[in-house]
Amino acid sequence: MSNPSTPESQLPTESTTEARSFDEIFSEYEQNHSRQREDGGKQIEGTVIAVSAESVFVDIGFKSEGVLPLTAFQSSGQAVKPGDKLLVSVKGRDLDGYYELSRTKIAQPKDWSSLEQAFAEKSTIVGTVTGVVKGGLSVDVGVRAFMPASRSGVRDAAEMEKLVGQEIRCRITKLDATDEDVVVDRRVISEEEERLAKDRRYSEIKEGETVNGTVRSVTDYGGFVDLGGVDGLLHVSDISWGRINKPADVLSAGQQVEVKVLKVSDASGKRRISVGMKQLQPHPWDSLAGKYKMGDRIRGVVTRVVEFGAFVELEPGIEGLIHVSEMSWGKKVRIASDVVKPGETVDSVILGINSAERRIALGLKQTLGDPWAEAGQKFAAGTVIEGPITSITKFGAFVRLAEGVEGMIHVSEISAEKRIHHPQDVLRVGQTVKAQVLELDKEKRQLRLSIKQMIPTSLDEYLAEHKVGDIVTGRVVEVLEGEGSGESAGVELGEGILTTCRITKPAAKEDNKAELKADVSSLSFMLAARWKGAADSSGEKPKPDPIRAGQIRNFRIVKLVPDAKQIEVELA
């Protein structure tokens, strides 16, 4: 390619070239290269004339164009196009005859003093690799210098061989004038440039912006994305709204991705960038309105299990929680993993939806049917049941009547003969007991049971031996609603057998006699003296005293209900 600044009339033609002597051509070559050496440490302005997939071609006023790698612009996010002006330094020439350029100012030492100055200022210089030696490379920087293999910037011997004959940028790390010992480092230059590029790129990235990147590596917890010189962490939870088991299932090294910058932090001097892919997609909850409703029976996959419940994915990005309390009717589940496992497909019922908090409550046991639905018919009051004791507390024992249905025997309903201080004194878990249903509350899902109602008592025997109409004897315990003029009275028919007497007419006024003090031990004597005598000395039947507490009287049974253990009497 020709120099655009040279007039076309001045370009050499084939005839003029043939007429020129070899000495003239060699002299021109020497002048051009001496100009290169003179300008080697200076920056000159060039004009971009072309941009290829890998290189940027620059007119620097020499016979041949200079070339820059396109990555020098891409790493900093800078765009370049034909016509742009650039300040560059000449490093050397490549195999195709193009001048290798650098965008940084490079010194080319000419004597020992310039080497000392470059060493003191830690400036970048240009040298030519002359050969591979033991432990590294030999470099010509005006004098012979040694570059350790570890500081060459290449990985193996084959790559070191490729450096021979090339001009490189380096820095003097050791300079001993006495022994003329010079050590140079090439790797430190690339590390500094990389660090500067990272700093620049890091300052350019802003939270909330969308950027393109390349997946550099994939781990178990996500992937690292090259954002143009800096890495961003793409966590597995930010790849997709749906559940992803392994990042490698959706990511691979070299993959081009579009991500959103979620967070840029510099905590404790550690620069970190978090990015996400799913944030560029609509959230599944945004289109969920009306899709699910309470009571719906749905199927999903258990994604994870925690101590208090299990999360079930209903669709990508939509999860519901089955709490341990909603896993079984029949037993108390303490750990969710005892019932379900990750990856298992389960049916559940929607118990609640909270769109604001993006939560769905699910129930597993509801898919099995509610055992309390028929409890009212199966366990009505008075029903005798039999079942094992499932647990014991200080106030009672719980008995399983059916799967998912339990009843409680209060400590006061265990025995009628003695006072029980703690249920475990007479009962144990697993023991099968018979009990009678005292009360059922279907709404509260509660059943009250009694064992003592199953044990025959003196009342049971009394009920079995009598019938309505029988005349019985009892002691008036108290007169209700005013003594002497009440309408009912409490009567004791035997030890622990209490009933109510209906009084059909007003009781007579009390006389001045002292109240009779009843003596149960003399019951038969008093009955014979008071009620079994036919008449007094005048031949007339004595009038009964007005009813009052302590009297022993005859009563007629008017109502007797064995099942409910109820007795009602009236004065005979």
- 346 contacts 312 by C-beta, under 8 angstroms: yes
Going by the DSSP 8-state scheme, the letter that residue 34 receives in this structure is H
Amino acid at site 284: P
Residue 256 and residue 307 share a domain: no
Q: Which is it for the CA torsion 156, 158, 164, 166, positive or negative?
A: negative
Residue 465 to residue 480: CA distance in whole angstroms? 28
Residue 336 and residue 390 share a domain: no
- Among 454, 481, 499, the domain-final residue is 454
**Where does the pLDDT of residue 405 fall: very low under 50, low under 70, confident under 90, or very high at 90 and above?**
confident
Residue 464 and residue 562 share a domain: yes
Average pLDDT, the chain: 79
Residue 552 and residue 463 share a domain: yes
**Where does the pLDDT of residue 9 fall: very low under 50, low under 70, confident under 90, or very high at 90 and above?**
very low
- Residue pLDDT, tens place only, 65-106: 888 888 777 666 678 889 988 888 777 677 677 887 877 666
Q: Which residues lie closer than 8 Å to 248 by C-beta, 6 or more apart?
A: 218
Question: Does pLDDT of 457 surpass 80?
Answer: no
Residue 499 and residue 480 share a domain: yes
Q: Which residues lie closer than 8 Å to 379 by C-beta, 6 or more apart?
A: 385, 401, 405, 407, 437, 440, 447
Query: What's the rounded mean pLDDT across residues 23-51?
Result: 59
The per-residue pLDDT for 543 is 60
Residue 560 to residue 572: CA distance in whole angstroms? 16
Question: Does pLDDT of 4 surpass 80?
Answer: no
Question: Does pLDDT of 537 surpass 90?
Answer: no
Question: Does pLDDT of 173 surpass 80?
Answer: yes
The per-residue pLDDT for 531 is 44
Residue 495, SS3 per DSSP: coil
User: What is the CA angle 455-458-460, rounded to 5?
Assistant: 65
Identify the top-confidence range among 308-322, 482-496, 514-528.
308-322
Residue 310 and residue 225 share a domain: no
- Among 83, 102, 121, the domain-final residue is 102
55: in domain = yes
The two structure tokens encoding residue 489: 């009275």
- 65 contacts 1 by C-beta, under 8 angstroms: yes
The partner residues of 263 in beta bridges, in order of sequence, read 274
Amino acid at site 429: V
Report how many domains make up the chain.
6
- 60 contacts 44 by C-beta, under 8 angstroms: yes
Residue 98 to residue 495: CA distance in whole angstroms? 125
554: in domain = yes
- Residue pLDDT, tens place only, 104-115: 666 566 677 888
Containing structural domain, residue 538: 458-571
Residue 155 to residue 161: CA distance in whole angstroms? 11
The per-residue pLDDT for 105 is 60
The per-residue pLDDT for 539 is 52
The per-residue pLDDT for 30 is 43
Nearest of 479, 517, 480, 472 to residue 497 by alpha carbon: 472
Q: Which residues lie closer than 8 Å to 544 by C-beta, 6 or more apart?
A: 553, 571
Burial string for 134-150 (b: 16+ CB within 10 Å, else e) reads eebbbbebbeebbbebe
**Where does the pLDDT of residue 417 fall: very low under 50, low under 70, confident under 90, or very high at 90 and above?**
low
Residue 61 φ/ψ region, left for φ over 0, alpha for ψ in the -120 to 50 degree band, beta for the rest:
left
107: in domain = no
Nearest of 530, 429, 432, 511 to residue 473 by alpha carbon: 530
Residue 269 and residue 172 share a domain: no
Question: Does pLDDT of 485 surpass 80?
Answer: no
Nearest of 357, 367, 361 to residue 293 by alpha carbon: 361
- 225 contacts 214 by C-beta, under 8 angstroms: yes
The per-residue pLDDT for 39 is 46
Report the range of poorest mean pLDDT among 52-61, 239-248, 345-354, 366-375: 366-375
The partner residues of 299 in beta bridges, in order of sequence, read 347
**Where does the pLDDT of residue 521 fall: very low under 50, low under 70, confident under 90, or very high at 90 and above?**
very low
- 399 contacts 435 by C-beta, under 8 angstroms: yes
Q: What pairing do the DSSP bridges indicate for beta strands 566-571 and 497-502?
A: parallel
The backbone torsions φ and ψ at residue 93, rounded to the nearest 5 degrees and listed phi first, read: -125, 145
Query: What's the rounded mean pLDDT across residues 459-488?
Result: 79
The per-residue pLDDT for 229 is 80
Nearest of 329, 565, 567 to residue 436 by alpha carbon: 565
- Residue pLDDT, tens place only, 270-325: 788 999 999 998 888 887 777 888 889 999 999 889 989 999 999 888 899 999 98
Report the range of poorest mean pLDDT among 1-10, 189-198, 338-347: 1-10
Report the range of poorest mean pLDDT among 16-25, 35-44, 130-139, 224-233: 16-25
Q: Which is it for the CA torsion 358, 364, 369, 371, positive or negative?
A: negative
143: in domain = yes
The per-residue pLDDT for 390 is 87
Question: Does pLDDT of 12 surpass 70?
Answer: no
The two structure tokens encoding residue 286: 């945004």
- Among 102, 127, 143, the domain-final residue is 102
User: What is the CA angle 353-356-357, rounded to 5?
Assistant: 75
More confident residue, 529 or 264: 264
Q: Which is it for the CA torsion 418, 419, 424, 427, positive or negative?
A: positive
Residue 95 and residue 50 share a domain: yes
Q: What pairing do the DSSP bridges indicate for beta strands 256-265 and 272-276?
A: antiparallel
Residue 135 and residue 84 share a domain: no
Question: Does pLDDT of 347 surpass 70?
Answer: yes
1: in domain = no
Question: Does pLDDT of 510 surpass 60?
Answer: no
> For residue 199, what is the enclosing H or E element?
helix 187-204
| pTM confidence score | 0.46
Residue 554 and residue 475 share a domain: yes
Residue 479 and residue 438 share a domain: no
The per-residue pLDDT for 47 is 92
The per-residue pLDDT for 301 is 92
Residue 524 and residue 481 share a domain: yes
The per-residue pLDDT for 92 is 67
Determine how many CB atoms are found less than 10 A away from the CB of residue 103.
14
The partner residues of 353 in beta bridges, in order of sequence, read 360
Report the range of poorest mean pLDDT among 326-330, 432-436, 479-483: 479-483
Residue 486, SS3 per DSSP: coil
The per-residue pLDDT for 368 is 78
197: in domain = no
198: in domain = no
Query: What's the rounded mean pLDDT across residues 214-240?
Result: 90
3: in domain = no
Q: Identify the CATH number of the domain in which residue 68 sits.
A: 2.40.50.140
Q: For 97-166, where are the E strands, in sequence order?
A: 99-102, 125-133, 136-140, 144-148
Residue 328 to residue 185: CA distance in whole angstroms? 71
DSSP 312-372: EEEETTEEEEEEGGGS-SSS--S-GGGT--TT-EEEEEEEEEETTTTEEEEESGGGG--GG
Report the range of poorest mean pLDDT among 352-366, 383-397, 474-488: 474-488
Query: What's the rounded mean pLDDT across residues 159-186?
Result: 87
More confident residue, 330 or 506: 330
Please name the residue that has the structure tokens 């997946």.
215
- 312 contacts 322 by C-beta, under 8 angstroms: yes
Determine how many CB atoms are found less than 10 A away from the CB of residue 358.
14
Residue 378 to residue 371: CA distance in whole angstroms? 10
The per-residue pLDDT for 110 is 62
- 288 contacts 233 by C-beta, under 8 angstroms: no
Q: What pairing do the DSSP bridges indicate for beta strands 405-410 and 66-69?
A: unpaired
Residue 184 to residue 146: CA distance in whole angstroms? 6
Question: Does pLDDT of 503 surpass 60?
Answer: yes
